[in-house]
Structure 1
Amino acid sequence: MPAGVYTRAMIERILIVCVGNICRSPMAEIVLRHHLGGGDHVRVESAGLAALVGNPIDPLAQRVLEANGLSGTEHVARQVTAAMIGTADLVLAMQKRHLDAIHAISPQARGKTFLMGRWSGNTEVSDPYGKTQPVFEASYRDIDRMAHDWRMHL
């Protein structure tokens, strides 16, 4: 099987990483879980490199999720750890610099760590934090497209 090709049987736990774990990674967690059918066959989680630990999802991110029939009200931000990375079968990051930070925490994760936008030409997801609702909506559209792409490759 070519590198970077997975089957659902191989992937049981996906970790999605951004910086604060209140905007992009929780949106991606919720959207990817939705694309994968929301079942228990794959556990999708998120964490942040400099997480705003204990904080809920950003209100604008929640608003965008709700507009698309989803919810992040249960989300609580958490800090990424080497243990989280180690137990994940697949680690997805929002930006290339996040990949470097993940590899610094857990060098052995290199073979299972990719950009969320891997199947879209290794596209990054820009940080909407502190910006307007249209910016959050654009991030959501990117994440939704990328989650669909991952579903097609899992």
Structure 2
Amino acid sequence: MIQSALIVCVGNICRSPMAEALLRHRLAGRDFAVGSAGLAALRGNPIDPLAEQVLAAHGLSAKAHIARQIEQALIDRADIVLTMEKRHMAALRALSPQSSGKIFLLRRWRDGADIPDPYGRKLDEFERAYDMIHSAMDDWISRV
């Protein structure tokens, strides 16, 4: 039974914190742990202001988020690890080959497409990333 998820992107300040907040909200009331980390995390940084703005528009928040770097212990503790891009999945599988069976692309059940990084871009790119994350989460929630 899946009881925890780790969501991974690059900096852990845009996509993965948005996905973490969304999944946590969608599974509220269930015994399910959700976390996020970055392959090249901007350690200690808060969520990007535009990512927080998009979350707020959907009644969510990740204001307390603090970016952290991926570590083997985080991968070990998670039942599933969800990535934003295929290259993230490959990097994690190289880092932790024994965990490759639980590392998946977030949009696996959709079109298998990457979710582009909105970092440094305009609000509409953050909204697009959120929409892609939201639709992909529907598929994962039905499986956990």
TM-score range, shorter chain: over 0.9
Distance 2:103 2:78 in 1: 10
Instruction: Select 1:116's aligned residue among 73, 81, 106.
Output: 106
SS in 1 for 2:89: helix
Q: Does 1:25 align with 2:16?
A: yes
CA distance in 1, matches of 2:94, 2:38: 14
Contact kept? 1:14, 1:43, Cα under 8 Å: yes
Aligned match of 2:5: 14
1:50 is aligned with what amino acid? A
Asked if 1:73 corresponds to 2:63, the answer is: yes
Q: How far apart are 1:40 and its partner, in Å?
A: 5.0
Aligned residue for 1:6? none
Q: Whole-Å Cα distance in 1 between the matches of residues 50 and 119 of structure 2?
A: 9
- Under a length normalisation based on structure 1, what TM-score does the superposition of the two structures give? 0.91
Q: Does 1:86 align with 2:76?
A: yes
- Measured against aligned partners, the alpha-carbon deviations of 1:63-118 in whole angstroms (never above 9, x if no partner) come to 00000000010100000001110111000000000011101211111111100101
TM-score (norm 2): 0.97
Deviation at 1:121, TM superposition (A): 2.3
The runs of 4+ residues in structure 1 deviating greater than 3 Å are: none
The 3-state SS of whatever aligns with 1:76 is: coil
User: Residue 34 of structure 1 aligns with which residue?
Assistant: 25
The answer for the alignment partner of 2:53 in structure 1 is 63
CA distance in 1, matches of 2:100, 2:47: 28
Q: CA RMSD in A?
A: 0.9
1:123 CA drift (Å):
1.9
CA contact (8 A) 1:61 1:136 kept: yes
| Aligned-partner Cα distance in 2 for 1:132–1:143 | 17
What does residue 132 of structure 1 align with?
122
Distance 1:111 1:41 in 2: 23
Q: Which runs of 5+ in 2 are unaligned?
A: none
Letter of the 1:82 counterpart = Q
Find the aligned partners of 1:124 and 1:109 in 2 and give their Cα distance.
21
